[in-house]
Chain A
Amino acid sequence: RTMADALSDAGDLSGGEGSQDDVMTPAELIARLEEAWLNEKFSPELLESKSELVECVMEQLTHMEENLQRVRKGDLKASVHHMEIGRIRYVLSSYLRSRLQKIEKFFPHVLEKEKSRADGDPSFLSPEEFAFAKEYLANTEVYLKAVALRHMPPNLQSIDMLKAIPEPCLDSFVFLRVKERQEKILVEPETDEQREYVVDLEEGSQHLMRYRTIAPLVANGAVQLI
């Protein structure tokens, strides 16, 4: 990531006011964005919202654009930096788009999850995403009622969204790379037909497993989905 390193004239980035993030170089920030992007793309469920990361990246992009304004036109470095800004912007948009797709697909479950989380736990939806999800639910209900439900007999006029729309399939298989060594991961529990199947995950190794087994490891950064 020499390109982002070269932009260190932007200085080190902190995670915004009041945040507890460590000070990161631009290279580290972009690497974290790419990790979040890949995890979100390959995970069957909506992951935690990384709002500070998104904000930092937006700040970084604005800074890079400002720097570019000051550079002499036609300089080769400028067009390369320009491409870099385009690429970062694409990754960021793709990350946000993945999240929106999942919110649209699982909207009642996403809202339910957010409603029932404890106060200390990290949020799954940014404030904007939360507003979007609520509007989407309201719009769907209004539309369904106006087009179909109001013509039904009175006792059939309600629909339970949580039952109507399937939950994300946590048993989907995902490819992953291990970042931190893990011991004794339970892959298959003991049943009448099989003994329990337990593995150790070596650092740097790659696996194909059920998402459900390693979901907590994705959340704490011990594995990376690929």
Chain B
Amino acid sequence: MDTRSYMPVPPGVGTEENVFSLDDILLSQERLPCRTESVFPGLGFVDKSSDSRHIPEGTKMEIPLWLAKGLYERKRRVISVELPRVYREGWRTVFGADANVVDLHTMGPYYYGLGSQMLHFDSPENSEIAQCVLQTFIGRFRRTMDSSQNAYNEDTSVLVEKLDCLERALFRAGQSGLNAFQLWEKGLASHLTASSLVTNYRKRKLADLQA
């Protein structure tokens, strides 16, 4: 029940990305460890440690997701993408044991998003990765939902610090629902307030004027 007049473009679901979503754009900046499967002629200058003109086959590099998706082809002639640490066997066991203790913010703030995008790269462990991401979400969701619905008018930074971006968005949604309900209970629901767009725009203009 969204009553804002302005809806930011939401990120894509699962393996899809929404070109216009800011969340997805930021997600696609995440770096992945990769290995070149063929020579990249003329691009030697990218690798500062070597002085060759080309990037030889077998070089290990970290490239952002958008570039990896663009270069990857099923026949694997160009690059092969390795799994980041969080999606490998070792960490998967940790998530399986207890998903709630892990600090998903430091483990890459886009754990679920990047995990879903990793499935594009045809790793033999794809089904385990997918299962792990899903089970982690299921394991952690209840705590996020519970805390977002019961933390009213207090400092939530402790509750939020270990959540990844998807969970934070859910937390915010829960909080806005809770606040809206409290306003309604106090009879202030019909109280007209300036839209957040307007107040932010005014603040920005002021900053521009002062600069």
Chain A contact residues, CB within 8 Å of chain B:
101, 104-105, 159, 164-166, 169
Contact = CB atoms under 8 A, between A and B. Distances in A.
A166 B16 contact: yes
Nearest to A159: B19
6 contacts: A104-B7, A105-B9, A164-B19, A164-B20, A166-B12, A166-B13
Contacts of A165: 18-20
A105 B18 CA distance: 11
A169 B13 contact: yes
Interface string B182-198: 00000000000000000
A165 B19 CA distance: 6
Q: List 6 tightest A-B contacts by C-beta distance, closest first.
A: A164-B19, A166-B16, A166-B12, A169-B13, A166-B18, A165-B18
Contacts of A105: 7, 9-10
B190 to A, nearest CB: 11
B2 interface: yes
B54 to A, nearest CB: 23
B28 to A, nearest CB: 13
Nearest to B17: A166
Residue from B9, B14, B18, B19 having most chain A Cβ neighbours under 10 A: B19
B2 to A, nearest CB: 7
B57 to A, nearest CB: 28
Contacts of B17: 166
